[in-house]
Amino acid sequence: MRGFALIWVMGISTAWSCTNATQDREDGAHLDEAESAILQCGLGLCARGSHAERYSCSGSCGSCAGGPNQTDCEPDTSSFNACGLGCPVGLHVTSYSFTGLCNTSSFPDTGDNQTSCASNAGNAFQTCGVGCPAGYHATSFGFSGLCDTSAFPDTSDNQSSCEINAGSSFQACDIGCPSGYHVTSYDRTGACDTSDFPDLDNNRSSCDANSGSSFTTCGIGCPSPYHLVNTSFRGSCNVATSTSVSHNQTLCSL
């Protein structure tokens, strides 16, 4: 009888230990999930390296009479959706949209309030806005409904096609070239227009890498460590098609 009682007690103890261990694992899983997201009072005040994923109402943050009063902050990844318009440094905007999760008022409008962000990586990508992030140059501008932020948008260009600054040469929608490259000529192309009513001045630069013992660049002056040898004139180095200058290019040498 005593043996049976001892076995019964040991069985109960073992079952309790297994149940308790299972509960600990479940609690740990819930804790890990909670730690990945930070809920804080206020709207859009997330720490560096995180973004606002949604707004909500919490009694612990005060009255909800005026609308949401709490932000769900999630860690930044290579791509994510964030409340608000714009992305952190190192990421670019791929589209804007509207979602009820990002409403900040009890009587919200339907204007865009969410941004889709992606990391600045790879050889090429498209981003909302006119211009590209550091390390990339624009090859063309265009219009996309995904990049509209207004309920009554116009049709002006609002998207850029970007390529990485690499290789011995490339063409960029800009007057001037990024660091490490020099301008060999200017020209005009409709792909680099940003207005419905553009002027006729040049809007694209042909860029060559700063390499070799010497090269000729548009403009007066040379990038380091090259020095100016002489200056001269070339028609393709004119920025404005309606004007001309006596000298507009430089021979540079080490």
Give the separation between CA 102 and CA 154, rounded to whole angstroms.
24
Closest to 91 in 3D by CA, of 112, 115, 73, 71: 115
Report whether the peptide linkage leading into residue 75 is cis, meaning its omega lies within 30 degrees of zero: no
Instruction: Please check whether residue 57 is in contact with residue 75, taking contact to mean a CB–CB distance below 8 angstroms.
Output: no
User: What is the pLDDT, as a whole number, of residue 104?
Assistant: 85
User: What is the pLDDT, as a whole number, of residue 201?
Assistant: 87
DSSP β-bridge partners for residue 185: 206
User: What is the pLDDT, as a whole number, of residue 36?
Assistant: 54
User: What is the pLDDT, as a whole number, of residue 35?
Assistant: 43
Mean pLDDT confidence for 133-138:
97
Q: How confident is the model at residue 200 (pLDDT cuts 50, 70, 90)?
A: confident
Residue listed under structure tokens 């000529």: 185
Mean pLDDT confidence for 170-199:
91
Is the pTM for the entire model greater than 0.75?
A: yes
Listed range (23-37, 63-77, 123-137, 176-190) with the worst mean pLDDT = 23-37
In 65-113, the DSSP E strands lie at 70-75, 79-83, 91-97
User: What is the pLDDT, as a whole number, of residue 108?
Assistant: 64
User: What is the pLDDT, as a whole number, of residue 33?
Assistant: 37
In the chain, the DSSP E strands lie at 38-41, 50-56, 70-75, 79-83, 91-97, 114-119, 124-128, 136-142, 159-164, 169-172, 181-187, 204-209, 214-218, 227-232, 249-253
Give the separation between CA 25 and CA 182, rounded to whole angstroms.
61
Query: Is the predicted pLDDT of residue 166 greater than 80, yes or no?
Result: yes
Instruction: Please check whether residue 9 is in contact with residue 16, taking contact to mean a CB–CB distance below 8 angstroms.
Output: no
